[in-house]
């Protein structure tokens, strides 16, 4: 303590000489500084003594904030810890950076900082939902919805979907549009397998995709639609699966007979191409009844190939031509037939007249879904100049955007297809 007073005295004396002041001023300054230092020293010693006596008691003067290592930061309160932690785990400074401490929370006297601002997605969420729902033909409307705001939003969304779809169709119509599109509906079983749903459910979803594609084509002005529904080779599958498919065909055909909304909307004429005698009796009767009920319609021509393959179609056409010639030869005498100019040769035109597709133009586009690049014995006679496309999605996943892309691809190669077709006609 004496050394501290002497050092203060000599320091004050040196400063007084530098300023030109007297020794008395230096002594007064030294005494004032020494008394202040002494009081601080005594106060510190008292606090240390009290802490040693009661370490759990907060020995602070009134209004004095805690200091030192482990003290809470200003404006924050320390929540009771779950377990004793070392002091360095609290909010302390190390190397000039503050470490975050999960035990600290904001006190009620100081409001917490504002949350980070999130982007407002309300302005573009509606267009995204609208474009994504173009996959289905119509939005799912629940008539039991009691909230009028939801009904209004659904109606607005449906109107926007229809408007966008019409705009896309109008843009496509500036290019060459196909008159006949053929679909190989592949991937129904894989769709059910990948989604671990009941076997046969994939074909039901595929039927919904078929109706949607039919309506899309009608909006685009496509006159003829042909689908490969069931091949003759499919009878080689498991009998249980074949039976379930036949039951599904009968169910859907009867639905079209009872609920004719789709048929009346597009004024659709439905044909079944194939050997109908191979079908079960209920399915065959239902198919014949549906063909008879739509025979007079003049709108979209929808042809369903079941059970069908192109080889049997060609053989059937050859047999019909031969039977026709045989009848002519039996009615007329051989000399008179020769004089009338009837020849025994079979021409391409003769076969065309006896094909299942007689009266329909050849397909402009053949689409096989699931990425497969095989025709699987489908319309081999009619697809010489057709544009073959193999989109990756499975048939139940086929949607409006895939159909639009197929038409754009066709428009891109249309000049080459027409050139090849005209050249073949000249050679004939």
Cα gap 272→153, rounded to integer Å:
41
List all residues 6 or more positions away from 419 whose beta carbon is below 8 Å from its beta carbon. none
**Structural element, H or E, at residue 45:** helix 23-53
Cβ pair 330, 342 in contact under 8 A: no
Cα gap 249→234, rounded to integer Å:
14
**Structural element, H or E, at residue 132:** helix 122-132
DSSP characters over 362-392? PPSEEEESTT-----SSSTTT-TT-EEE--S
Residues forming a β-bridge with 305: 228, 273
Strand blocks (E) in 292-407: 301-305, 365-368, 387-389
For 152, phi then psi, to 5°, come to -65, -45
Cα gap 215→203, rounded to integer Å:
19
Strand blocks (E) in 47-200: 76-78, 93-94, 97-98, 104-106, 180-184
Residues forming a β-bridge with 189: none
Interstrand relation of 104-106 and 224-228 (parallel, antiparallel or unpaired): unpaired
Interstrand relation of 104-106 and 97-98 (parallel, antiparallel or unpaired): unpaired
Q: What b-and-e string marks burial along 103-134, b requiring 16 or more CB atoms within 10 Å of the CB?
A: eeeeeeeeeeeeeeeeeeeeeeeeeeebeebb
CA distances from 344 to 261, 325, 337, 349, 351 (A): 49, 7, 10, 14, 13
CA distances from 350 to 175, 394, 406 (A): 34, 38, 33
Mind telling me the catalytic residues?
186
Cα gap 297→96, rounded to integer Å:
86
Closest CA to 189 of 200, 181, 179, 173: 200
């Amino acid at each position: 303590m004496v050394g501290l007073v002497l050092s203060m005295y000599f320091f004050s004396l040196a400063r007084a000489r530098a300023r030109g002041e007297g020794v008395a001023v230096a002594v007064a300054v030294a005494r004032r500084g020494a008394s202040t230092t002494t009081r601080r020293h005594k106060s510190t010693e008292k606090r240390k003594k009290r802490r040693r006596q009661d370490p759990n008691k907060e020995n602070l003067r009134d209004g004095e904030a805690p200091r030192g290592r482990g003290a809470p930061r200003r404006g924050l309160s320390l929540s009771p810890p779950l377990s004793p932690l070392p002091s360095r785990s609290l909010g302390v400074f190390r190397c000039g950076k503050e470490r975050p401490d999960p035990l600290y929370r904001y006190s009620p006297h100081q409001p917490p900082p504002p949350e980070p601002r999130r982007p407002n997605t309300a302005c573009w969420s509606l267009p995204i939902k609208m474009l994504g729902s173009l996959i289905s033909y119509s939005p799912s409307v629940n008539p039991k919805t009691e909230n009028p705001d939801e009904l209004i939003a659904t109606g607005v969304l449906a109107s926007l979907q229809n408007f966008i779809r019409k705009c896309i169709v109008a843009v496509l119509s500036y290019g060459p549009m196909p008159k006949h599109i053929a679909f190989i509906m592949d991937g129904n079983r894989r769709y059910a397998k990948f989604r671990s749903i009941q076997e046969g459910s994939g074909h039901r979803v595929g039927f919904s995709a078929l109706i949607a594609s039919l309506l899309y084509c009608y909006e685009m002005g496509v006159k003829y639609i042909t689908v490969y529904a069931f091949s003759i080779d499919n009878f080689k599958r498991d009998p249980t699966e074949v039976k379930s498919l036949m039951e599904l065909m009968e169910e859907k055909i009867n639905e079209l007979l009872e609920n004719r909304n789709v048929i009346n909307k597009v004024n659709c004429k439905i044909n079944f191409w194939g050997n109908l005698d191979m079908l079960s009796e209920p399915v065959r009767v239902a198919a014949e009844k549906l063909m008879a009920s739509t025979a007079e319609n003049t709108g979209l021509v929808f042809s369903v190939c079941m059970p069908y393959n192109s080889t049997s179609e060609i053989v059937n056409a050859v047999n019909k031509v031969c039977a026709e010639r045989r009848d002519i030869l039996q009615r007329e005498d051989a000399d008179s037939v020769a004089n009338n100019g009837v020849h025994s040769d079979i021409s391409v035109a003769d076969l065309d007249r006896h094909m299942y597709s007689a009266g329909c133009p050849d397909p402009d586009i053949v689409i096989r879904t699931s990425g497969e690049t095989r025709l699987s014995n489908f319309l081999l006679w009619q697809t010489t100049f057709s544009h073959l496309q193999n989109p990756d999605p499975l048939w139940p996943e086929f949607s409006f955007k895939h159909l639009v892309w197929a038409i754009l691809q066709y428009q891109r190669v249309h000049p080459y297809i027409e050139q090849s077709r005209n050249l073949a006609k000249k050679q004939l």
